[in-house]
Amino acid sequence: MATRYTSKQTNEWLRNTMKKLGISSLDELSTMTKIDRGSLSRYFNQDRRPSIDAIVPICSALKVSSDELLIVLGAADRPDQK
């Protein structure tokens, strides 16, 4: 049965990914993506889904595929864990 990330899991993933890439804050991610900090916060708290125009810059900054980002943001099911 497929499941989705919770907002807590999404935030944990974001913290770990940013740390791994040396990105120190949402403000820095905002500068890199040219997406305001408030929107990024809402995306990663799963309060709002990103527009199609926001997906590519976020993926580029975090070095992930669009599939992975959509799964992490709770917009798509996780692949079945076997």
Res. 1 pLDDT band, cuts 50 70 90: low
Rg (CA), the chain: 12
Q: Indicate the pTM of the whole model.
A: 0.89
Give the whole-angstrom CA distance, residue 50 versus residue 65: 14
Residue with tokens 């993926």: 59
pLDDT at 79: 82
Which domains, from first to last, does the chain contain?
Answer: 7-72 (1.10.260.40)
Closest CA to 49 of 26, 15, 58, 1: 58
Q: Give the pLDDT confidence of 9-59 residue by residue, as tens digits.
A: 999 999 999 999 999 999 999 999 999 999 999 999 999 999 999 999 999
pLDDT at 45: 94
H or E element in which residue 18 lies: helix 7-21
Residue 73 tokens, joined: 């943001």
